[in-house]
Amino acid sequence: MKKELFLRSTTLIQTNNDSMASKQTSTAKKLKEHENERSTLAAVLHVVGQPLHINMLTLTPPARGEVLVRMQAAGVCRSDWHVISGDTKHPLPAVLGHEGAGVVEQVGEGVSLVHVGDTISLSWAPYCGACFHCTHEQPFLCSAYDGPIWKGAMMDGTTRLTLADGTPVCQYCSLGCFSEYCVVNEKSCILMPATICPEVRALIGCAVTTGVGAATHTANIRAGDTVAVIGGGGVGLSAVMGAVVSGASKIILVDRHPSKRQAGLSVGATHFVQYPQKTSAESASAKVLEKVLSLTNGVGVDVAIEAVGIPALQQLSIDIIRPGGTAVLVGLAPMHASIIMPTAKLTRQHKTVKGSYYGGIIPAKDFPKIAQMYLTGKLPLDKLISKRYHLDQINEAYADMCVGALARGVIVFGETASTRLPAKL
């Protein structure tokens, strides 16, 4: 009896000791994490339709498979504006920004793709490498990461950012590039040459890859093709460059702003057609169609790339391609947007309509290829950068974007901001 009581007592003591040790380990871990937390200044969207606010946030260190990045540059993209306007639904509060570049500051356990000090571009499409889409060379459609990305969270369903009162702050595309620092999945970090300036590395992360890829991968433009690109922003001008390197014989840029003429011609467009303003969409599209037909001997273009995301322009892209031609929809339209598809006409004229998400590329493989094309002079990516802004000028940057004043605006951080502003390329 005494032996039994002794054994039970010993077991209880051991259990209590194990429990206490576990709690001490957990407490020590939390204290260590707290010690490693840092503050970061970020542009936060609190309410749809309202300006972004510059807040000081708390950033927890990277967990397993994650990387802490010191941001150097982040592009001003219309996809983020869709969240601000409410056209894209997203949990709030959130730090926006999905087109960025920076330097690796710290790596979590198990990270092997990058190391501290590496210069990187960020991809907004991390991938698992094992799902159906990943094994079919479509990592940008990875099903494992689709849920967390749209929730603005990391793979464990939580975010690494909090407000002063402890409220979690979402990270758009699991990134949140409009912040001095961000913690991201290692699969979002693509090693890039340090000789490429941060602004260009940032644009390779979205606009350039989306536009160039739409031309070279999705549309598969061939030498001698005639091409029309609708929209002269960062994606559209990148599509023009993609058409150039693919050997297109005629490249027609369509935009409502006459200022985009020079921007288009400087990156390889051969013609510019202004989309009429102050008239109905139907009338404006009819005039553009007439002009495109006159430039193509009445046939239409082999390939049309719509890079804005407006249904009327998506419809126009189908109208201006020749029988047997291909229309590629690249611009991100508001959720639930739709167009009327002339199905009988598509069938009888053998027209093809394609969606293009992230240019149909594989970031880990194609980012470095695009970087080399830039370094060898084949892609004049510097010409995309219209203006640089500090983080506290971010609302001004989006105002400029909305009126069509930019090809691409770029938010610059730290030394990049102090040494490169206000110079323009």
Dihedral (C-alpha) 170, 131, 214, 201: value to the nearest 10 degrees? 50
Which one is catalytic: 182, 188, 206, 246?
Answer: 206
* 243 closest CA partner among 273, 205, 216, 203: 216
* 208 closest CA partner among 308, 341, 83, 99: 99
Q: For residues 270 and 266, what is the distance between their CA atoms, to the nearest angstrom?
A: 9
Task: Taking each helix axis as running N to C, give the angle between helix 281-295 and helix 311-319, from 0 to 180 degrees, rounded to the nearest 10.
Answer: 30
Give me 345's structure tokens.
Answer: 């006409």
Q: In angstroms, how far apart are the furthest CA atoms of the chain?
A: 105
Beta-strand relationship, 385-389 and 352-355: unpaired
Secondary structure tally for the chain: helices H, strands E: 13, 18
* Contact indicator for 218, 359 with CB cutoff of 8 Å: yes
Which one is catalytic: 19, 26, 79, 136?
Answer: 79
Q: Report the Cα–Cα distance between both ends of the chain, in Å, rounded.
A: 88
Task: Taking each helix axis as running N to C, give the angle between helix 78-85 and helix 394-402, from 0 to 180 degrees, rounded to the nearest 10.
Answer: 100
Burial of 72 (0-12, 13-18, 19+ CB in 10 A): buried
Q: For residues 227 and 110, what is the distance between their CA atoms, to the nearest angstrom?
A: 46
Known active-site residue 142: no
Which one is catalytic: 98, 170, 177, 179?
Answer: 98
Beta-strand relationship, 189-191 and 226-230: unpaired
Known active-site residue 177: no
Which one is catalytic: 77, 170, 173, 177?
Answer: 77
Known active-site residue 9: no
Known active-site residue 131: no
Instruction: Sheet with 301-306: list strands edge to edge.
Output: 271-274, 250-255, 226-230, 301-306, 321-329, 352-355
Specify the 3-state DSSP secondary structure of 160.
Answer: coil
Give me 209's structure tokens.
Answer: 């890859």
Active site residues: 77, 79, 82, 98, 206
